[in-house]
């Protein structure tokens, strides 16, 4: 291949690349100019999750005090306390007593966390624990910090301050 042919090929490639760039820019500019909808509030990139709300399953034991008490028993029997503490206050696993929930605090989210497991150490129990028992565990967990919690943790008495009231 001669030097002249190499130059011609290089110039042709540059013209082709420049033409595509200008053509693409013109199409983009034209599309943006003809668009009447402002781009504010439109998410960039893929949006996670479904486009519509799903019908999440509901807990059949939400207000059933007998089932909540059974959930407390199952919490100990399945050794949930081994990671989450005796009353769900946390340990190696996160606290179940606070209002902050990484994967959602609805009954359906808690059920999914128990059944499917979560990253960072929560095993999947859905193949080991029957569904009705998982719902009872959920009912117990949701009862924490409420008047319906069976066997709530003891609140230590406030220490006496010496020098006051003496």
Query: Is 102 inside a domain boundary?
Result: yes
Q: What pLDDT, on a 0 to 100 scale, did the predictor assign at position 81? A: 93
- We report the CATH number of the domain holding residue 79 as 1.10.760.10
Integer angstrom CA distances of residue 139 from 54, 93, 95: 21, 19, 16
Query: Is 115 inside a domain boundary?
Result: yes
Query: Is 23 inside a domain boundary?
Result: no
> Per-residue pLDDT for 20 more than 50?
no
| Tally of domains within the chain | 1
Give residue for tokens 């130059």: 7
**Residue 153 token pair:** 């943790």
Query: Is 1 inside a domain boundary?
Result: no
pLDDT digit string, tens, across residues 62-87: 999 999 999 999 999 999 999 999 89
Q: What pLDDT, on a 0 to 100 scale, did the predictor assign at position 161? A: 75
Query: Is 93 inside a domain boundary?
Result: yes
Query: Is 104 inside a domain boundary?
Result: yes
Most confident of 26-35, 40-49, 50-59, 151-160: 151-160
> Per-residue pLDDT for 54 more than 70?
no
Share of residues in the chain with pLDDT > 90 (%): 43
Does the predicted model carry a pTM greater than 0.75?
Answer: no
Per-chain mean pLDDT for the chain: 76
């Amino acid at each position: 291949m001669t030097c002249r042919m190499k130059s011609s090929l290089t110039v042709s490639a540059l013209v082709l690349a420049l033409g595509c760039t200008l053509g693409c820019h013109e199409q983009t500019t034209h599309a943006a100019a003809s668009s009447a909808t402002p781009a504010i509030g439109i998410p960039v990139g893929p949006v996670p999750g479904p486009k519509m709300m799903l019908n999440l399953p509901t807990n059949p034991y939400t207000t059933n005090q007998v089932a909540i008490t059974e959930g407390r028993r199952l919490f100990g029997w399945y050794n949930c306390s081994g990671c989450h503490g005796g009353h769900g206050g946390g340990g190696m696993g996160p606290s179940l007593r606070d209002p902050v929930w990484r994967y959602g605090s609805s009954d359906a989210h808690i059920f999914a966390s128990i059944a499917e497991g979560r990253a960072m150490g929560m095993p999947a129990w859905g193949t080991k624990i029957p569904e009705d028992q998982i719902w009872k565990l959920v009912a117990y967990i949701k009862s924490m910090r409420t008047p319906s919690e069976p066997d709530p943790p003891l609140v230590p008495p406030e220490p006496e301050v010496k020098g006051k009231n003496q």
